[in-house]
Amino acid sequence: MHAFDFYRGRRLRRTAVIRDLVRETVVTTNDLIMPYFVVETADAAFEKPIGAMPGQYQLGLDALSARVGRAMAKGLRAVLLFGLPAAKDERASGAYAEEGVVQRAVSRLKRDYPDLCVVTDVCLCEYTSHGHCGMLSPSGEVLNDPTLDLLARTALSHAKAGADIVAPSDMMDGRVGAIRAALDENGFSHIPIMSYAVKYASSFYGPFREAAESAPAFGDRKAYQMDPANAREAMREAAADLGEGADMLMVKPALPYLDILHALRQSCDAPLAAYHVSGEYSMLKAAAQNGWIDEKRAVMESMTAIKRAGADLIITYFAEDILDYIRA
Ligand SMILES: [Zn+2]
């Protein structure tokens, strides 16, 4: 056989420099958004480890600011905030309260770090006594249209507090349009909407429920979040949200849905975010703590895969760690 008769792919893998020169996908500090859980409490230094998510914490305002400051010193540029209110009710009043936990956290972070990009999760489930993402009918069904107004009020209150981007995660139909209208009518036409457009009813959200204390008191979220078996439906959800004015789309979870991310990348030009969710985080942490995988390598391989599939930005609880990895 002649030497040129077969492809010699190894030529471009021979040294670290050559591999670096031909690398197609690189994760950078510009790609990362770090989620934080902020607690409404008089103890601003409050810091409670989340058992199912080693390395993650529920934080009071001072603790949050300190943690974000340390991460920014390492290169963090964007955060996503979830709130744990002191009290919950049927109408999720805490979600849109002027002095609500997220609203106060947003203004605090924007005061301490004007350059930080603050993204807020817009949903009701952390604020409703029943733990669902919308208003309930007497029979316990999650009502779509009556929920839209409350979501719009929530997003507007976040914008008023200083949020740079609002990110609705509830999966009610029509919420992007309702939020867009509320923002535009109140002088916030410059605030982008990052829509959780393609959010699956996933088992990988388990640890988040402990972190955000948002487990539904009954039933599940399958009547509003997507069936993991469906891919074409993701295209319809994405098209609907873009049509209503979404500026960025999100796929959630990330690794089990890379095919969806890739298909969306092919079919639409909007920036795509992927949410590497709590269960994905906790699985890697648990395996690493047992010595079964190399945490740094597994995390970076996961992030690279998410970006390779088509994500422009990645929301991940590993963001602080990745900043260390990138600088090392
Ligand atoms: Zn929710």
The pLDDT of residue 111 is: 98
Cα 275 to averaged position of ligand 1 atoms, centre (Å): 14
Do 114 and 164 contact (CB within 8 A), yes or no? no
What is the tally of helices (H) and strands (E) in the chain? 11, 12
Cα 328 to averaged position of ligand 1 atoms, centre (Å): 37
Residue 92 token pair:
């999720």
Does 199 participate in catalysis according to the annotation?
yes
The pLDDT of residue 33 is: 98
151, pLDDT greater than 80: yes
227, pLDDT greater than 80: yes
pTM, two decimals, is 0.96
The pLDDT of residue 27 is: 97
Q: What is the mean pLDDT of residues 157-180?
A: 98
Q: Tell me phi and psi for residue 249, to 5 degrees.
A: -115, 150
Cα 189 to averaged position of ligand 1 atoms, centre (Å): 24
Longest dimension (CA), the chain: 78
> Using 50, 70 and 90 to split pLDDT, how confident is the model at 88?
very high
Span 30-48, pLDDT tens digits: 999 999 999 999 999 999 9
What is the C-alpha to C-alpha distance for residues 44 and 56, in angstroms, rounded to an integer?
Answer: 17
- Residues, CB-to-ion distance under 5 Å, ligand 1: 123, 125, 133
Cα 252 to averaged position of ligand 1 atoms, centre (Å): 13
The pLDDT of residue 3 is: 64
Q: What is the mean pLDDT of residues 71-91?
A: 97
> Using 50, 70 and 90 to split pLDDT, how confident is the model at 2?
low
318, pLDDT greater than 90: yes
What is the C-alpha to C-alpha distance for residues 129 and 89, in angstroms, rounded to an integer?
Answer: 5
The pLDDT of residue 101 is: 98
> Using 50, 70 and 90 to split pLDDT, how confident is the model at 210?
confident
Span 239-292, pLDDT tens digits: 999 999 999 999 999 999 999 999 999 999 999 999 999 999 999 999 999 999
Cα 12 to averaged position of ligand 1 atoms, centre (Å): 47
The pLDDT of residue 212 is: 87
Cα 221 to averaged position of ligand 1 atoms, centre (Å): 9
Cα 322 to averaged position of ligand 1 atoms, centre (Å): 27
Q: How far apart are the first and last CA of the chain?
A: 45
Cα 290 to averaged position of ligand 1 atoms, centre (Å): 32
112, pLDDT greater than 70: yes
Q: Please identify which of the residues 74, 160, 252, 285 carries the catalytic annotation.
A: 252
Percent of the chain topping pLDDT 70? 99
The pLDDT of residue 214 is: 86
Q: Please identify which of the residues 74, 110, 160, 199 carries the catalytic annotation.
A: 199
Q: What is the mean pLDDT of residues 75-86?
A: 97
Cα 209 to averaged position of ligand 1 atoms, centre (Å): 10
Mean pLDDT, the chain, rounded, equals: 96
Helical H runs in the chain?
16-22, 61-73, 101-112, 145-161, 175-185, 206-212, 232-244, 258-267, 278-289, 295-309, 319-327
Does 307 participate in catalysis according to the annotation?
no
